[in-house]
Chain A
Amino acid sequence: MQVSMTVNGQQHSDEVEPRLLLAHYLRDVVGLKATNIGCDTTSCGACTVIVDGLSVKSCTLLAAQAEGAEVTTLEGLAGPDGELHPMQKAFREEHGLQCGFCTPGMVMAAIGVLADNPDPSDREVREGLEGNLCRCTGYHNIVRAVQSAAKAGPAAGQVPQGQEVAR
């Protein structure tokens, strides 16, 4: 079947199997490999992307279900000049990543947390990220990164709109 969607500001239209997961569509068809897959049960959140403004686990959506949607992945966050999104910047400065596998999903989920609540408490950050698992950081620096990003203002809870991301 044919699916069409905007990924990081770029229009894509591809012939896919109806059962193809959005996560595999992004990785294997569009060729954006930052989005990772860490489980089969919607438990780990490594595949989190933003679909029409909501953070979504892309292993739990068929590509077909994202028909016509605006999808943002980690690759779509930085500015055209390479300027890091406030959440990317905060993750770097606070050492919020180690092996990096959960990171693409964690960053997208963290943006979703701030979209819902621009000034969360530590507890609210932890609850907001409950569906995103990390084995390396003990979450300590991830929580700090989200708090630090929150201080950067509303942009930390937003994804760039309609921006063409070169690939």
Chain B
Amino acid sequence: MSILGTRVVRTEDPLFLTRGATYTDDLVDDRLTGALHATFIRSQVAHGRVLSVDTSAAREAPGVVAVYSAEDCTDLDPIPAGLPMVPAAMSRPWFASETVRFVGDIIAVVLTEERYQGEDAAEMVSVDIDTLPAVVTTADALKDETLLFPEAGTNVMAAFGEPEPADFFAGCEVVVRQAVVNQRVAPVPLETRAAAAAWGEDGRVTIFCSNQGAQQAKAQIAGWLGLDPALVHLVTPDVGGGFGAKIGADPEFAMVAWLAQKAGRPVKWVENRSENLVGMLHGRGQDQVVAIGGSRDGTVEAYSLLVDQDCGAYPRFGPVLPTLTMLMAPAVYAFPKVHAQARALATNTTSIGAYRGAGRPEATAAVERALDLFAAEIGMDPAEVRRKNLLPDFHEPHTTAMGAVYDSGEYVAALDKVLDAAGYQELRAEQARRRENGDVKQLGIGMSVYVEITGADTGLGAGESAEMEVHPDGTATVLTGTSPHGQGHATAWAMIASEQTGIPVDKITVIHGDTDRIPRGGGTMGSRSLQQGGAAVHQAATELVELAKQRAAEQLEADPADLEIDLSSAGLSVRGTPGAGITLAQLAEKEPLLVQTRFEAGGPTFPFGAHLVVVEVDTESGKTEVQRVVTVDDAGTIVNPLLAEGQRHGGIAQGVAQALLEEVLYDADGNPQTSTLADYPFVSATELPSFELVDMATPTPMNPLGAKGIGEAGTIGSTPAVHNAVIDAVAHLGVRHIDMPTTPMKVWRAIQQAQQEGTH
């Protein structure tokens, strides 16, 4: 029986559970002996002119070795926007010298012998800023009255698509239009950002940092610092969660390397949570307008989406997000007409980046909310409206109105499965009873059907590198270009290698995140790792067995074609001649048994599924309790169900969190209101139920494993299902829409307003 598809417990865990993982802050490394601690001084004003920065008192503080600000940083060019569609003027200075553009903009940095001394000294840097009006919302940005980058002449970082044609909904019996907020949230990996750097006598710098892809981070840092990439060695220690926010490098990582050179000593930086909540990229941040039109029989004729993407102060991945939202706008539906337009805007807030799903959850949220609005308008069951408009099953590629090529889809089956598993009719009957009785606690049933794109080519190619070597002691090493930070690649990649070679999982060591050993790699993001990195390991193991056959054929004086892998001995045997064979380990004794390979995927994959959520809403307090989350998430062939379920659980929880609780808030002056975990309502165990997962697996032809992505699907499906459920619970009271997060106050207000308007 193949090991693939079985619930192998993680090989990472014994160490993680007894000594703990080794994150950047935990490193004990000779190269970092005597490292100085960096503490950044950041703007506490959202938008303003810097009048003066006085570091003299800080320089005299105990333990301070150096203080640097803009005047000390004349050797670096500003950080370029890095995206062809964004005006070049929208670059970021390393230290704000003239203008600060968000609370968190870096003004100075102190280097101290001890960590606590840095906090003390930072307090002594005096910064004088003349406040300018702050651009806080996308609506403010669009006015172009206050400009973040006057030289650019606009706050628009990028614009995509044309305005909706005036006659787009002509002929539609019913048209519903609604502004929908997909609010800004904070990724909050439990490990904050951290970096350490040391220059060697050979003129090379070793950078350790918490990231999702060493090779990409290295390339960015080398580019920003103007270094020959050959001089940069980037090492990714264990990483305590990323969720998209640790893709690539942050400027602080490069600055740590720059500081180490400047100070002539190793430098380490570990941010605290309040720095993280203003300094690390945020996610989502779209103001959308959805419009949906069709006939009263439930058929949708046309769907239109307008996205105003908040990108924050400096361009990171923000301007790219709406392109993914637009690409996925047609979703799982056979809408005859789909239109999408987007504007990416600069605001005086923390920059927006990728966050679990990155543009695709926003597409699903928009269309799933639109369908519920349409269903409510025509008085039809939302499941029925969906079934009427879903694309029929297809197993040959399907090209959408926005140009995405879906690999395969069985959307109706996914919806039916989730409705059956949840007991949909019984739930509706219970809801009707409660409505009839006028219960204080009303039941809400929400659903979503989704498709997303995973393993998309983000410019680094849709492939991945892998190397496998078998050692004479019977162990093996696998090198991968992916970058696990919780996903369990050490286990899953070992399973894949074991399946081909018979080497036991616990004898296979998986190595990642060292640019000297693995120069080429795409990292872990966009739910790409298994379908590309796992497939590359599969390919490496397959090629290794072929190589072994060639070598063994000489030794055994047999035709390679007559040799077959014997999994029980991790060796090769001659077909039909039991006992005559040689192990891979024995072959490795003579010369290294090693294969380096690169797998190129046939294309991205399009996982799909359906979620059904049951909530109870207290109509007197507005408080929602999530009772059930039932999900179908089709990620193709599953290599390790334990790991795949873990990905679904985590994804679902982050979707529930966005729908119900979490939001990054700024006041009208651009001051963050949620910059600690006491203020930011990070979802806890008490706010979630246990989840009910339903199996469905349609293998993809894009890779030999048949695997599609699973990292982000849970979030994409659950966010709109929870959101729709809350609104459904109070729909009979006349409530049509409530923006996320559906906090008790917002729900209560919506009920009050609906009752005042007497729309029920």
Question: Which residues does A use to contact B, with CB under 8 Å?
Answer: 17, 19-20, 24, 27, 33-36, 38-44, 46, 74-75, 77-78, 82, 84, 88, 91-93, 95, 97-104, 107, 122, 125-127, 129-144
Contacts and interface: CB of A to CB of B under 8 A. Distances in A.
A20 B645 CA distance: 41
A77 B16 CA distance: 12
A97 B13 contact: yes
B307 to A, nearest CB: 26
Contacts of B25: 33
Contacts of B72: none
Given A38-B191, A135-B188, A137-B650, A33 B20 contact: yes
Shortest Cβ-Cβ A-B pairs, 7 listed: A34-B20, A138-B653, A101-B240, A99-B486, A98-B486, A43-B677, A138-B649
28 contacts: A33-B19, A33-B25, A36-B190, A38-B192, A38-B677, A39-B273, A39-B676, A41-B273, A42-B678, A74-B18, A75-B18, A82-B18, A88-B17, A88-B18, A95-B646, A99-B190, A99-B191, A99-B240, A101-B241, A130-B686, A135-B189, A135-B654, A136-B486, A136-B650, A137-B646, A137-B650, A140-B649, A143-B690
A132 B682 CA distance: 11
Q: How large is the interface on B (under 10, 10 to 19, 20 to 34, 35 or more residues)?
A: 35 or more
A40 B676 contact: yes
A41 B20 CA distance: 22
Contacts of A122: 690
Given A33-B22, A36-B240, A139-B653, A101 B191 contact: yes
Contact of A138 (B23, B28, B652): B652
A103 B28 CA distance: 20
Nearest to B484: A99
B555 to A, nearest CB: 40
Contacts, number: 179
Contact of A129 (B188, B238, B676, B685): B685
Interface of B: 9-10, 12-14, 16-23, 25-26, 28, 115-116, 187-192, 238-241, 243, 272-274, 485-488, 642-643, 645-646, 649-654, 676-678, 682, 684-686, 688, 690-691, 714
A97 B240 CA distance: 11
A50 to B, nearest CB: 15
Given A74-B17, A99-B240, A43 B190 contact: no
A138 B691 contact: yes
B112 to A, nearest CB: 14
A131 B690 CA distance: 18
B15 to A, nearest CB: 9
Contact of B678 (A43, A104, A138): A43
A25 B559 CA distance: 65
Contacts of B649: 137-141
Given A99-B239, A99-B485, A140 B191 contact: no
A99 B192 CA distance: 12
B646 A101 contact: no
Most chain B CB within a 10 A radius of its CB, from A24, A78, A139? A139
A143 B487 CA distance: 19
Contacts of B677: 38-39, 41, 43-44, 133
